[in-house]
């Protein structure tokens, strides 16, 4: 189907005849994901009435949800697990009408700014200092302080727009940048807090039996402007946060685990804001991702 034919078909969503609407809806459902960009564009155009807006939005939500779930399944099954892209997919799942183009450009701009300052002769600590300077000073990211869970502090797109996020969203974005740069930095799944570990070795090759720290060189706390925590200081850090975690539990986790926690955290934030419909949708996504990653989880637990 040509673009002009697609536009003509979508315009019929406004027809008051229920029979015509039902036929058009079925045809667009048959076309599937290929209709998503044209529906997004149509919703941005002016001059459409409420009937068109409601019908097009409902159909877009349905088709885009299928599209995003398919993208999540591909991401889980891939070898690269680029976390920055998965975070943007979460944003699109929450708002199927959103266009991720501007957010992707922002991510690549930040990555490029960091990359220009790095070189192969730098030590691990020097690399992290560069990331911290570009990420926090130049681009102005910061952690949120206190208050109830807010979706604006947990939703990746909002964190990018406002340059502010909770420890998980901010840390996941920092991790995504490091991953795009090929640095051996991983997430550490502390309860009620999220930090990172710089490992001495391959990007996904540092998962030791029992989940111990293994070859962790040092930890990074993105919520505190990328503050470096040396392994010998972790116990004091955990005590300061009043976290019931022992140092041997502070090993690196897989990007899939970070994504699952990010989705769960966002669902909790929507629940606290009494948007129960969105919270339920996110829990459905969490179950879907867990289902996609079940064989991988079993393999990691062996």
The model's pLDDT over 161-184, given as tens digits with 9 standing for 90+, comes to 999 999 999 999 999 999 999 999
What residue has token string 């799944």? 189
Domains of the chain, residue spans: 3-77, 83-301
Mark the ranges of the chain whose per-residue pLDDT is less than 50: 202-214, 295, 298-299, 301-302
* 65's tokens: 């949800």
Is residue 169 a contact partner of residue 265, using CB atoms and an 8 Å limit? yes
Bridge partners for 218 per DSSP: 198
DSSP, residue by residue, 97-158: T---HHHHHHHHHHHHHHHHH--TT--HHHHHHHHHIIIIIIS--EE--SSS--GGGTSHHH
Long-range contacts of 106-109 (CB under 8 A, 24+ apart): 106/160, 107/160, 107/176, 107/177, 107/180
The pLDDT of residue 203 is 41
Place of tokens 């960091």: 114
Cβ(28)–Cβ(42) below 8 Å: no
- Name, in order, each residue with C-beta under 8 angstroms of 217's C-beta and a sequence gap of 6 or more: 124, 198, 199, 200, 231
Q: Which of 300, 298, 214 is nearest to 251 (CA)?
A: 214
β-pair partners for 165: 143
CA–CA separation, 52 and 50 (whole Å) = 5
Angle between helices 167-180 and 101-117 (to 10 degrees): 60
Q: How far apart are the first and last CA of the chain?
A: 49
Looking up tokens 């964190």 gives 159
Contact 42, 10 (CB under 8 A): yes
> Given this model, what pLDDT does residue 224 score?
92
3-state secondary structure of 220: strand
Q: Based on the number of CB atoms within 10 Å of its own CB, is 227 exposed (0-12), middle (13-18) or buried (19 or more)? A: middle
The radius of gyration of the chain's CA atoms, rounded to the nearest angstrom, is 22
């Amino acid at each position: 189907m040509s673009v002009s034919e697609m536009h003509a078909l979508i315009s019929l969503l406004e027809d008051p005849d229920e029979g015509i609407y039902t036929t058009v809806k079925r045809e667009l459902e048959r076309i599937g994901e290929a209709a998503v960009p044209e529906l997004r564009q149509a919703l941005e155009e002016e001059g459409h009435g409420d009937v068109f807006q409601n019908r097009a939005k409902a159909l877009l939500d349905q088709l885009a949800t299928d599209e995003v779930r398919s993208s999540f399944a591909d991401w889980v099954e891939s070898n690269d697990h680029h976390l920055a892209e998965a975070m943007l997919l979460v944003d699109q799942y929450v708002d199927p009408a959103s266009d991720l183009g501007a957010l992707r450009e922002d991510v690549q701009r930040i990555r490029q700014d960091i990359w220009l300052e790095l070189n192969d002769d730098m030590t691990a600590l020097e690399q992290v200092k560069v990331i911290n300077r570009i990420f926090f000073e130049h681009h102005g990211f910061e952690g949120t302080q206190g208050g109830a869970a807010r979706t604006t502090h947990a939703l990746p797109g909002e964190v990018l727009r406002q340059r502010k996020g909770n420890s998980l969203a901010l840390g996941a974005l920092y991790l995504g940048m490091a991953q795009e740069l090929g640095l051996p930095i991983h997430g550490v799944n502390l309860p009620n807090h999220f930090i990172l570990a710089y490992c001495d070795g391959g990007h996904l090759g540092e998962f030791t039996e029992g989940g111990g720290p293994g070859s962790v060189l040092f930890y990074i706390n993105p919520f505190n402007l990328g503050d470096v925590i040396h392994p010998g200081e972790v116990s004091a850090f955990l005590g300061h946060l009043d976290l019931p975690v022992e140092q041997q539990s502070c090993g690196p986790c897989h990007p899939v685990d970070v994504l699952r926690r990010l989705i769960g955290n966002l669902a909790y934030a929507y629940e606290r804001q009494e948007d129960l419909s969105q919270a339920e949708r996110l829990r459905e996504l969490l179950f879907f991702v867990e289902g996609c990653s079940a064989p991988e989880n079993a393999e990691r637990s062996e």
